[in-house]
Amino acid sequence: MTSLLKTEDETMLADSARGFLDDAAPVSHLRGLRDAGKVHDPALWAQMAEMGWTGVLVPEEAGGADMGHAAAGILAGEMGKTLVCSPFIGTAVIAATALRQVANDRASAALRGIAEGKTIYALAVDEGPKHDPDAAQMEAVADGNGFRISGAKTFVCDGMSADRVLVLARTGEGLTLFDLPTDRDGITRSAMSLVDSRDAARITFDAVAATGDDVLGQVDDAMTVLRPALEAGQAALAAEMGGVAAGAFAMTVEYLKERKQFGVPIGMFQALQHRAAHLWCETEVTASAIAHAGRKLDEDPAQATLAVSLAKARATQTVTLAVQEGVQMHGGIGMTDAFDMGFYMKRARVAAEWLGDYGYHAAIVARLREI
């Protein structure tokens, strides 16, 4: 397998992404959206499309840049550092990966829409407070040549901005993945006011009509399409969380050097030095797991489950520690809304739950390692 170190191209990608995002989407951008009551910035998304980011996993023949999962992780990581608010993971990673599993003209057209930045996708899988796709209960009942879908989904990230939604529903004995426009009759969306100020929706389906054309992949076989898409999303989310941890950590170390109490910089106190050093070690070890997941998805995708769950589990633990230490070491200022650290803590908590929490992924690692 390719080394876990960044290649020259990857370093350039990271540097150029950083340059763009520091200018276009620093943390103040998220704060601005929140204060304006918005969850999406179409102008930012259009710029990402122009740079080829929305097509990072779209084949070249469908207008994409086809840079692969390691590159998608690098972009997600840079976004995480400044808490960039965009539908990147749901659309450019999860939906693009799902659509790539299907070889037909409709999927190609959908991929083109993603690459061009014209279509935003959301993934509607969760029905309860914990991620568990295999246990989805919402039913799509056979109706003539098609289906009628009824039920409710929750925690649909980017659900309010989305043009289309990938919906997981039970059909007979199996699960089927549907690709539906969000304006289909019978679909009702309501916004969740998430702590991280990002877009998420509850979606109800009231006898929504779906045809065979709306099925992505095969009926009763959602996982052939959905599993790779979920794994791609989990790896990218882990990378974003690595970025969130790195961003929070960098702020914290700077503060330890600047803030003076008892006449000295508080970074002189060994109690804080050792905690900061320990946290740095955690971020380093997690960075390896994140890089490995990207490489594995690019080079051996059928065997990537362990690598992906390892990355998501580690990233969840590390980012949680990073934001908790971030607030504590900043003291009172860390608790204020005027200071950015709180945004990091909120995003970390939402990302920890999305696409499976620590326990969910730890159980997958344990199963695959026969523990």
Partner 1 sequence: MTEALDAFRAEVRDWLEANCPEEMRDGGSGEENICWGGKRWQFQSEAQKVWLERMAAKGWTVPTWPKDYGGGGLSRDEDKILQSEMRRIKARSPLQSFGIWMLGPALLHFGTHEQKAHYLPPIARGEVRWCQGYSEPGAGSDLASVQSRAEPRGDHFVVNGQKVWTSYADKADWIFALLRTDKDAPKHKGISFVLIDMSSEGVSTRPIRLISGSSPFCETFFDDVKVPREQVVGEENRGWDVAKYLLTHEREMISGGGGGLLGGRGVGAMLDGADDPVLRAGAMTCEIDALAMGLTLERYKDMAKTGSVGDASAMLKYYGTELNKRRNEVMMLAGGSDALEWDGAHGSLPADWLRSKANSIEGGTSEVMLSIISRRVLGLPA
Is the CB of 35 or the CB of 258 nearer to partner 1?
258
Give CA–CA dist 334/266, Å, rounded: 15
Say which amino acid occupies 233: G
User: Measured from the CB of residue 306, what is the shortest distance to partner 1 in angstroms?
Assistant: 8
Is the CB of 12 or the CB of 264 nearer to partner 1?
264
Is the CB of 207 or the CB of 366 nearer to partner 1?
366
Cα dihedral 355→168→45→26 (10° resolution): -20
Cβ atoms of residues 24 and 82 within 8 Å: no
In degrees rounded to 5, what are phi and psi of residue 185?
-55, 135
How far apart are the two ends of the chain, measured CA to CA in Å?
26
CA 343 from chain centre, in angstroms, equals: 16
**Beta strands of the chain (E only): which ranges?**
121-124, 139-143, 146-157, 164-171, 174-181, 187-191, 200-210, 260-261, 264-265
Give CA–CA dist 201/188, Å, rounded: 10
Of the candidates 5, 9, 245, the residue with the CA atom closest to the CA atom of residue 17: 9
User: Measured from the CB of residue 257, what is the shortest distance to partner 1 in angstroms?
Assistant: 7
Give CA–CA dist 287/246, Å, rounded: 10
User: Measured from the CB of residue 354, what is the shortest distance to partner 1 in angstroms?
Assistant: 19
Is the CB of 170 or the CB of 361 nearer to partner 1?
361
Residue 174, beta-bridge partner list? 171
Is the CB of 123 or the CB of 362 nearer to partner 1?
362
Is the CB of 209 or the CB of 363 nearer to partner 1?
363
Give CA–CA dist 17/48, Å, rounded: 10
User: Measured from the CB of residue 321, what is the shortest distance to partner 1 in angstroms?
Assistant: 13
Is the CB of 289 or the CB of 327 nearer to partner 1?
289
The helices-and-strands tally (H runs, E runs) of the chain is: 12, 9
135: how many CB neighbours lie within 10 A of its CB? 12
Binding residues vs partner 1 (CB under 8 A) = 3-5, 253, 256-257, 264-265, 267-268, 270, 273-274, 276-278, 280-281, 284-289, 291-292, 306, 310, 313-314, 362-363, 365-366, 369-371
User: Measured from the CB of residue 98, what is the shortest distance to partner 1 in angstroms?
Assistant: 27
Give CA–CA dist 345/250, Å, rounded: 14
**DSSP class per residue in 34-78:** HHTT-S--HHHHHHHHHTTSTTTTS-GGGT-----HHHHHHHHHH
User: Measured from the CB of residue 253, what is the shortest distance to partner 1 in angstroms?
Assistant: 5
User: Measured from the CB of residue 22, what is the shortest distance to partner 1 in angstroms?
Assistant: 21
Is the CB of 294 or the CB of 342 nearer to partner 1?
294
User: Measured from the CB of residue 244, what is the shortest distance to partner 1 in angstroms?
Assistant: 18
Is the CB of 219 or the CB of 363 nearer to partner 1?
363
User: Measured from the CB of residue 300, what is the shortest distance to partner 1 in angstroms?
Assistant: 15
